[in-house]
C-alpha cells in the first residue's frame, strides 16, 4: 500500500474515561479519540462556500475529491491551487479554481449550513448540484477472490482506526485485491472524497481496481464513486434503495454486507469472475 505522507498526530488525541463493568467494578482508561475540526472552504480568495467537519488528515486529498464529487470543477485540472492554513482551532482551505468553474460556483451560491461529517449533501440547495450524467463504465472484470482478499486485508491498513476505533475508511484495491490506497475520516463522505482525490493525483486507472467502503452506502456515495468512473463499489453495510437504483442505471457493480467469506451482489454481477467449481 502507498504510505500516507502526513502524521497521524493531528488526527487523534488521548482522553481518559471510566469503564464500568457489569459487576459494578470500574477502571480508568486512556483512549484514542478521533479529531473533528471545522474546515472553511474559501474559493478564489473571497467566496466562502461552506464549512465542512473533517478529520485533519489528508486534507489536500479531501479538497480535490470534494470539488470533483460536488461538481464544483469538471476535471482535476480545474483545481489550480490549494493551501491549508491553521490558526489555532480555525482551519481554512484556500482554493483557487478556473474562471469558468468559479463563475458556475458563484451562480450556485453558498452552502446553506455547515456540512456535518455524517452527511454529504447537507446545505446543498438542489440535488441537481451533485447529481449528474456519467460516462459509460468499463467492463473491468473483478475476481470474487480479489474482493475477499481486499476485505480481509483492509482492517490492518486502517492505521487511524487502529488507534481510535471510530473512523470510516474508503480504500482502493487493485484488480488482484491488493490495497493501494486507504483514506480515513470521521465522515464516510469525507473518506470517499479523500480517496477520489488521491486517485486523481496519482492518475490511477479506474479500470484497474475497485473501491471498498467501511460504511453504509447511500445514494450520494454511489454518485461520488461514479465521478471517478468506479465500476465496482463494495460496502460492508447494505446500500439504500436509491443507491441501488442509481447503480443499476449506471451499470455499476454494487456489493453490500461485505465480509471476506460472504457478500451480497445487488447489481452488476456480470463483472464478477466466480471461482471455478469442479
- Check pLDDT > 60 for residue 121: no
Burial class for 265, CB neighbours closer than 10 Å (0-12, 13-18, 19+): middle
- Check pLDDT > 70 for residue 81: yes
Q: Which CATH number is associated with domain 142-273? A: 3.40.140.10
What pLDDT does 158 receive? 95
- The yes-or-no answer on residue 217 being catalytic is no
Grid coordinates representing 243?
A: 443507491
What pLDDT does 132 receive? 57
Catalytic residue among 82, 119, 200, 267: 119
Q: What is the pTM of this model?
A: 0.87
Instruction: Return the domain boundaries, the chain.
Output: 142-273
For the stretch 33-80, pLDDT in tens is 888 999 999 999 989 999 999 999 999 999 999 999 999 999 999 999
- Check pLDDT > 60 for residue 248: yes
Report yes or no: 97 and 105 within 8 Å, Cβ to Cβ.
yes
For the stretch 178-229, pLDDT in tens is 999 999 999 999 999 999 999 999 999 999 999 999 998 999 999 999 999 9
What pLDDT does 124 receive? 46
Amino acid at each position: 500500500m502507498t504510505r500516507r505522507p502526513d502524521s497521524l498526530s493531528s488526527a487523534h488525541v488521548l482522553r481518559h474515561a471510566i469503564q464500568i463493568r457489569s459487576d459494578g467494578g470500574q477502571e480508568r482508561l486512556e483512549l484514542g479519540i478521533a479529531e473533528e475540526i471545522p474546515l472553511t472552504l474559501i474559493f478564489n480568495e473571497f467566496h466562502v462556500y461552506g464549512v465542512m467537519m473533517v478529520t485533519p488528515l489528508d486534507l489536500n486529498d479531501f479538497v480535490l475529491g470534494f470539488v470533483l464529487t460536488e461538481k464544483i470543477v469538471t476535471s482535476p485540472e480545474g483545481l489550480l491551487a490549494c493551501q491549508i492554513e491553521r490558526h489555532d482551532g480555525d482551519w481554512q482551505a484556500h482554493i483557487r479554481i478556473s474562471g469558468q468553474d468559479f463563475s458556475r460556483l458563484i451562480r450556485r451560491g453558498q452552502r446553506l449550513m455547515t456540512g456535518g461529517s455524517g452527511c454529504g449533501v447537507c446545505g446543498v440547495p438542489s440535488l441537481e448540484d451533485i447529481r449528474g450524467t456519467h460516462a459509460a463504465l468499463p467492463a473491468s472484470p473483478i475476481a470474487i477472490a480479489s474482493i475477499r482478499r481486499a476485505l480481509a486485508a483492509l482492517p490492518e491498513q486502517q492505521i487511524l482506526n487502529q488507534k481510535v476505533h471510530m473512523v470510516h475508511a474508503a480504500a482502493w484495491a487493485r484488480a488482484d485485491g491488493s490495497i493501494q490506497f486507504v483514506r480515513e475520516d470521521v465522515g464516510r463522505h469525507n473518506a470517499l472524497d479523500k480517496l477520489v482525490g488521491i486517485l486523481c493525483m496519482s492518475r490511477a486507472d479506474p479500470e484497474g481496481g475497485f473501491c471498498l467502503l467501511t460504511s453504509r452506502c447511500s445514494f450520494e456515495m454511489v454518485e461520488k464513486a461514479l465521478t471517478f468512473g468506479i465500476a465496482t463499489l463494495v460496502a460492508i453495510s447494505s446500500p439504500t434503495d436509491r443507491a441501488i437504483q442509481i447503480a443499476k442505471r449506471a451499470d455499476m457493480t454494487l456489493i453490500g454486507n461485505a465480509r471476506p467469506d460472504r457478500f451480497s451482489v445487488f447489481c452488476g454481477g456480470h463483472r464478477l469472475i466466480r471461482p471455478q467449481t469442479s
